[in-house]
A and B are shown apart, each in its own frame.
Chain A
Amino acid sequence: MIGIVGYGSYIPWRRIRIEEIAKVWKQDAEVLKRGLLIKEKTVPAKDEDSVTIAFEASKNALKRAQINPEDIGAVYIGSESKPYAVKPSSSIIADALGISPIVHTADYEFACKAGSESVFVSYSLVKAGLVKFALGVGSDTSQGAPRDALEYTASAGGAAFIMGSENIIAEVIETFSYTTDTPDFWRRDGQFYPNHTGPFTGEPAYFTHIINSAKGLMEKAGVSPKEITYAVFHQPNGRFPLRVGKRLGFTKEQLEPGWIVPEVGNTYSGCSLLGFTAVLDIAKEGDIILLTSFGSGAGSDSFLFRITKRLEEVRGNAPTLKDMLNRKHYVDYATYAYLRGKILMGKEG
């Protein structure tokens, strides 16, 4: 049996409401909230970045895994908002967590799918018997351009998973990936904000890849939606995951626990993974969980998990996503713009 030994989530303390952003651009907040099905999103502090978020999530994962960090043989981190264009985040995490120096690490990028990739590679390495434990993390503090639709959704957060072959809390039953070259959303090197293609990001990108990946997984594993307890999809806004879930044959009850975007926003590489941690925060022994990520460019990774009884034993060792959702602090647009580096400061600023 190979699977998750420990999981951890992290979101920042600060939030901004949709109304605050809409006010500045003189857009209709109620229309936006109804259209996006998002109320507010997380905002990172000036001293947070995708590395600090990855560390906190990984720390929580270690608390649940209860293993010696030195036994982790690989660390992979996926992000599209790495603090350095050249210099790995994974080496910082590996050193800071006490995993270094006998470890293999790498940074992954695949838009919002980079986190699930890290998990996929971690799982594969353990399955191949090359390492005892491997840590896969998805973490982002992505930017949305001012006045752009993405400004309402791009937020910060991360999730970490330690994969192993003993003391499993969620067994990996099957995986299935679906990838094509589809330029729905991208950011060129040196550019501060990303570009996206509006409606093209829907059917040809998000829906095609998620549906093909999820269907492919269910076929390969020989399961139908009815036999799955919960399904978690990538959540760029509140509507897409509900729509794709319905198209795949899932009910609202199956989608609800993993549907966290209304209060968190889209945490990019952390997104579907954070939704998955919200499910792990409440899942019971025997539950079957489908997780399908989506990364623009484009691709989807699907996983099928079965929960073991150990989950309930270790779950309480670290805070749940709900614990973090309950501790929050609202900021106004000016503070948000400052924190996100959107204000042109002077030399001594």
Chain B
Amino acid sequence: MFTIPRIWREKKQRYRLEGSKCKKCSYTSFPPRKVCPKCGSEELEIIKLPETGKILTYTIVRNAPIGFTEFAPYAVGVIELEDGTRMLAQIVDSNFEDIDIGKKVKLVFRKLFSEGEAGVIIYGHKCKLI
């Protein structure tokens, strides 16, 4: 299910938070794109995303999918980073009752999942309340 080549190929996004910015209309996107979804331009540059933002909406996953049951229950939310880029990220190290729309968060480096005790471990970014 979690295949190595694909996970390895997406390293730059997950590890280094690379996104793209449209040179024409400044729309930023994560993951990076080749065509701007707003204006259709093909002139996009790679940018490093900011590491803080705020919560636009969130939920708490109580029934986790295969591969994530060891972390359940966990909060997950749509985050808007300082430069307007959106991403979906788990909200960790925060009491559920403290999480709310509008609260500020910062990105942290965590394990995303691993395929059992013997499988490779995938790392990436989640966020936590600040």
Contacts and interface: CB of A to CB of B under 8 A. Distances in A.
Contact of B109 (A12, A14, A56, A83): A56
A47 B11 contact: no
B16 interface: yes
A47 B110 contact: yes
B69 A47 contact: no
A52 B92 contact: no
Nearest to A345: B70
B96 to A, nearest CB: 11
A329 interface: yes
Contacts of B123: 51-52, 55, 92, 96
Contacts of A52: 108-111, 123
Contacts of A59: 109
Contact of B69 (A45, A96, A329, A349): A349
Given A47-B92, A47-B126, A52-B111, A95 B70 contact: no
Interface in B38-85: 66, 69-71
B2 interface: no
A48 interface: yes
Contacts of A51: 121, 123
A72 to B, nearest CB: 14
Contacts of A56: 108-109
A45 B92 CA distance: 9
A56 B111 CA distance: 13
Contacts of A84: 121
Size bracket of the B interface: 20 to 34
A165 B108 CA distance: 30
A47 B111 contact: yes
B107 to A, nearest CB: 10
Contacts of A349: 69-70
Contacts of B92: 45, 47
Given A46-B70, A51-B123, A96-B15, A13 B111 contact: no
Contacts of B90: 47
B3 interface: no
B93 interface: yes
Nearest to A338: B70
B31 to A, nearest CB: 16
Contacts of B109: 52, 55-56, 59, 96
A45 B109 CA distance: 12
A83 B121 CA distance: 8
B111 A48 contact: yes
Given A45-B92, A349-B69, A95 B108 contact: no
Nearest to B72: A46
Contacts of B95: 329
B69 A348 contact: yes
A348 B123 CA distance: 22
A98 B121 CA distance: 19
Contacts of B93: 12-14, 45, 329
A181 B112 CA distance: 39
Given A47-B126, A52-B123, A83-B121, A95 B111 contact: no
Interface string A83-100: 110000000100110100
B94 to A, nearest CB: 8
A19 interface: no
A80 interface: no
Contact of B11 (A46, A49, A95): A95
Contacts of B70: 46, 345, 349
A304 to B, nearest CB: 33
5 contacts: A12-B93, A45-B110, A47-B110, A55-B109, A95-B11
